[in-house]
């Protein structure tokens, strides 16, 4: 049996990154049927969630919040615009910027999307207090990693 050392990875179930990844997958599986009813994918839901809190943001601002490149986000936004959920317009003050705003259809989905949090509470068997603490802990971990690596910084 090889000695445990720097070159030997931990078993998968002992790796924090796997626990976070698999928990994320489990949550998305809970959300999927609800998002299907809303006609949304999970990434579309994330974009709408940002815009429900602050409408008319630049593509760059949304991309920054999601830790994505603008070029990665643009095709998603185009599909959402085609579905009538949002509109993209050039910023008159800076033609290089595209501003994203909700349509009435996009705004209407907000009241129907609250079921996601309820589904997570129900399916996890956890208390709202415990889930909020997990969220705070993971956000702190994410921010500490990004702070240390000099990469993306949360604007939340």
The 10s digit of each residue's pLDDT in 122-153 is 999 999 999 999 999 999 999 999 889 877 66
| 10-residue averages of pLDDT along the chain (156 residues) | 68 94 96 96 97 96 92 95 97 91 97 91 96 96 89 60
Of residues 91, 126, 100, the one with CA closest to residue 46? 100
Domain 13-148 has CATH 1.10.10.10: yes
Of residues 82, 62, 81, the one with CA closest to residue 72? 62
CB 128 within 8 A of CB 121: yes
Of residues 80, 40, 42, 84, the one with CA closest to residue 59? 80
- Residues 42, 97: Cα–Cα separation, whole Å: 25
pTM of the model: 0.85
Q: Dihedral through CA 11, CA 123, CA 139, CA 12, nearest 10? A: 10
pLDDT of residue 9: 87
């Amino acid at each position: 049996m090889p000695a445990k050392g720097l070159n030997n990875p931990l078993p998968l179930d002992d790796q924090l990154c796997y626990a976070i990844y698999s928990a994320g997958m489990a949550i998305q599986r809970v959300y999927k049927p609800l998002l299907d009813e809303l006609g949304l994918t999970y990434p579309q839901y994330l974009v709408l969630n940002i815009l429900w809190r602050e409408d008319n943001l630049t593509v760059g601002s949304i991309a920054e919040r999601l830790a994505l490149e603008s070029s990665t986000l643009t095709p998603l936004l185009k599909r959402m615009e085609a579905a009538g959920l949002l509109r993209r317009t050039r910023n008159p003050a800076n033609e290089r910027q595209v501003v994203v705003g909700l349509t009435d259809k996009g705004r209407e989905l907000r009241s129907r999307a609250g079921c996601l949090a309820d589904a997570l509470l129900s399916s996890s068997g956890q208390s709202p207090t415990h889930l909020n603490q997990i969220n705070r802990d993971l956000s702190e971990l994410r921010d500490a990693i990004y702070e240390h690596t000099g990469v993306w910084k949360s604007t939340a």
